[in-house]
Structure 1
Amino acid sequence: MMGRQDIDQIALRLASLVPPGMADAHKDLRANFRDILAQGLRHLELVTREEFDIQTQVLARTRARVEELERRVAALEAGVPPGGA
């Protein structure tokens, strides 16, 4: 996830694009860029990598369980006892 330091670096890059004649506005622009970036990121529905990895594991377990249940249902529909062939 993007942290405060990442936002500061992007704001600094954007402020560095300001023409040299506007050096006085450089500091203000950097602060404004940083605030706008931070505000924009807060509105996004982002999750941490850890949360994403946990949900990926939950999904994998759920998928395995569904596949097992599908096999059991197919066996019951075919008249074969579960676990037997």
Structure 2
Amino acid sequence: MLDPKKLEEIAKQISDAVPPGVKNMAEGAETKVKQVLQSQLSKLDFVSREEFDIQSQVLIRTREKLEALEARLSELERQQDGNTPS
């Protein structure tokens, strides 16, 4: 999920953008905006940066293994073609 400090920063920026006259009427706006953002973002299907990085490493290792297997298969096929009578 997103960093709570980032959510607070976004909520504060929104609150700061409100004109001063309206700001007095909406004293709890920052907290309410933060709550709405957290509620809506929690409904989205996000993965953490840590999980993304882990899965990226898994994908890299899997790709390396696949390339090694493809190279091995090509070598075996080449050897098989060389042993087949013409």
- For normalisation by structure 1, the TM-score amounts to 0.76
C-alpha distance in structure 2 between counterparts of 1:23 and 1:55, whole Å: 44
Matched, 1:31 2:70: no
- For normalisation by structure 2, the TM-score amounts to 0.76
Shift of 1:26: 2.9
Matched, 1:6 2:6: yes
- Matched residue count: 80
Q: Which structure has the larger Rg over C-alpha atoms? A: 2
Shift of 1:45: 2.1
Amino acid at match of 1:46: F
In the alignment, structure 1 segments of 5+ residues that lack a partner are 81-85
In the alignment, structure 2 segments of 5+ residues that lack a partner are 81-86
Shift of 1:58: 0.8
Q: Which has the higher contact order (CA 8 A, sep 6+)?
A: 2
